[in-house]
Amino acid sequence: MDTAARTERTQPSGENPPAVRSGRERRRMIFAASVGNFAEWYDWGVYGVVATMIARQFFPAGDSALALVGTYAIFAIAYLTRPFGTVVFGHIADSLGRTKSLTFTIVLTCTATALIGFIPTYASIGAAAPLLLLLCRLIQSLGTGGEHATAVAFVYEHAPRGGKAKAVGMLSALTLAGLLSGTLLATGLSAVMPAGAWAAWGWRILFWLSLPMGLIGLYVRRNTQDGEEFRQLKQQQRKKATLRSSPVLEAIRTSWRKILLFVAFLGTWSIISAIMTSYLATFLEQNHALSQAQAYGANTTAAAVAVVFVLAFAPFVDRLGLSRATIVAAVFAAVAIVPGFLLAGTNPIGAYLGTILLGAAKGVLAVPSLLAVSQIFPTRFRVSAGGLSYNLAASGLGGTAPLVAVALNEAFGSSLAFSSYVVLASLVTIVIMLTAGRRWITDSAPPTA
């Protein structure tokens, strides 16, 4: 491996290495960080799996396509609060500590998710039903806006030099397991419950389960501490006794060009993540060649394959370096997305083969994309800058992706239109990394204070 590749390993030079921790303690920290992300993606997965039922129960009857568009429009609009979540919880994370921020976000996220299960139907309360759904999604998205970037930074700062991608990969795998759990529970409950009961109220159980998840996560997170890297930063700041500006404002003032470019860079991950989490289930359900059980099974397969590929690819990211790993992942996503959706729209065997391709694309893209959220920004505003970039991309590109997919597929009658959109995003990511990636990684090593 050449010198340039070695300098972009997953520990920026110039920052103090974390204190040595036992493997058991690192695993405990990763688990603590993953609990909220697990619940967040569990909610995403559940929302996608039961989107057609939400459309039937929370919107006027008569036009199922319009109701589905309304369901995904709420999904997209809710993303608007993510950047505000970054401003609030990014400030807490960069000023007061990662653990304090993670405690607040898990309460907000899980409570809002559970409340969706209590919303009355449109037949009962009329237009208030979709409005209450939107309110819950806005609150949930606000918590998510601070949750994900904080958790990634927390794990990144606890991980050893040369093993940061592997640690982020473990976080990503446990996070994606939330999606897998949602689809598995939906598959199991829909199979054992009478069809009428499942459609009428059984799907609500999936949302109620986020309450015990939140309580477990809150207990685990209250017994963790920030990483050595962040604690050293706080000690340096106390010694200097200087008045510091808001981390978010400092990030915008000093790194606004990098943030904007990073938003475009994260487009591929944001789109594929949202599509795989919240649209693929609907796409499979609309394939009349599949039964509901087969559609759920294929969707579950995609989630399981994503977890496997996250764990398999993470060690290679540590060896290849961030820029090379990102290019490999984006090329794979660009190549896999079109045949993946084409196969998923055919017979049961094709659906499973297609979802395997799509799950693999999501898995290999997850680690370098999330690693970059922490790696390219300095510790002092890591969560604020990384979170703002991540959530602007998630709001503008990820949140609208299911809606764009429905619109393009309805307009052209083929998944090729939307697949081409994803391929274009992959090419943008590749070009940005080829032209700016090495400079990002070089520039990401200022002193922590």
Q: Return the DSSP state at 17.
A: P
Residue 290 near residue 348, CB atoms below 8 Å:
yes
Examine residue 15 and state whether it is found in any structural domain, yes or no. Answer: no
Tens digits of residue pLDDT in 218-234:
888 777 777 777 777 77
The token pair at 288 is 């009349």
Question: Containing domain of residue 101, as a range?
Answer: 22-226+245-443
18, 106, 217, 218, 282 from 227: Cα distances, Å: 7, 19, 18, 18, 40
Residues 6+ apart with CB under 8 A from 185: 46, 206, 209
Question: What proportion of the chain, given as a percentage, has pLDDT over 90?
Answer: 29
Grouping H, G, I as helix, E, B as strand and the rest as coil, residue 129 is helix
Examine residue 8 and state whether it is found in any structural domain, yes or no. Answer: no
pTM above 0.85, yes or no: no
Q: Quote the number of domains for the chain.
A: 1
Report the pLDDT value the prediction gives residue 365, as an integer from 0 to 100. 95
More confident position, 350 or 178 = 350
Report the pLDDT value the prediction gives residue 232, as an integer from 0 to 100. 76
Examine residue 256 and state whether it is found in any structural domain, yes or no. Answer: yes
Q: What is the CB-side half-sphere exposure of residue 148 using CA atoms within 13 A? A: 32
Report the pLDDT value the prediction gives residue 238, as an integer from 0 to 100. 67
Region label for 13, one of left (φ > 0), alpha (ψ between -120 and 50) or beta (otherwise): beta
More confident position, 386 or 278 = 386
Report the pLDDT value the prediction gives residue 246, as an integer from 0 to 100. 80
3, 348, 381, 384, 426 from 89: Cα distances, Å: 37, 44, 12, 8, 30
Which range is least confidently modeled, 143-147, 181-185, 227-231, 261-265? 227-231
CATH number at residue 93: 1.20.1250.20
Examine residue 32 and state whether it is found in any structural domain, yes or no. Answer: yes
pLDDT band of residue 415 (cuts 50, 70, 90) is confident
Examine residue 164 and state whether it is found in any structural domain, yes or no. Answer: yes
Grouping H, G, I as helix, E, B as strand and the rest as coil, residue 287 is coil
What 186-191 contacts at long range (C-beta under 8 Å, 24+ apart), as own/partner pairs, is 186/46, 186/49, 186/50, 186/296, 187/293, 187/296, 187/297, 187/300, 190/292, 190/293, 190/296, 191/293
Examine residue 13 and state whether it is found in any structural domain, yes or no. Answer: no
Report the pLDDT value the prediction gives residue 12, as an integer from 0 to 100. 47
Burial class (CB in 10 A: 0-12, 13-18, 19+), 240: exposed
Tens digits of residue pLDDT in 48-68:
778 888 898 999 887 777 888
Query: CA-to-CA distance for 210 and 216, rounded, in angstroms?
Result: 10
Residue 43 has pLDDT above 50, yes or no: yes
Examine residue 308 and state whether it is found in any structural domain, yes or no. Answer: yes
Report the pLDDT value the prediction gives residue 183, as an integer from 0 to 100. 75
Tens digits of residue pLDDT in 353-404:
999 999 999 999 999 999 998 888 888 888 888 889 998 998 888 888 888 8
Q: How far apart are the first and last CA of the chain?
A: 31
Q: Which amino acid is at 245?
A: S
Query: CA-to-CA distance for 268 and 299, rounded, in angstroms?
Result: 20
pLDDT band of residue 242 (cuts 50, 70, 90) is low
Query: CA-to-CA distance for 26 and 433, rounded, in angstroms?
Result: 30
Q: Return the DSSP state at 198.
A: I
More confident position, 286 or 269 = 269
Residues 6+ apart with CB under 8 A from 126: none
Report the pLDDT value the prediction gives residue 240, as an integer from 0 to 100. 63
Report the pLDDT value the prediction gives residue 440, as an integer from 0 to 100. 67
Report the pLDDT value the prediction gives residue 244, as an integer from 0 to 100. 58
Examine residue 232 and state whether it is found in any structural domain, yes or no. Answer: no
Report the pLDDT value the prediction gives residue 4, as an integer from 0 to 100. 42
Report the pLDDT value the prediction gives residue 339, as an integer from 0 to 100. 95
Among candidate residues 274, 226, 217, the one with its CA nearest the CA of residue 396 = 274
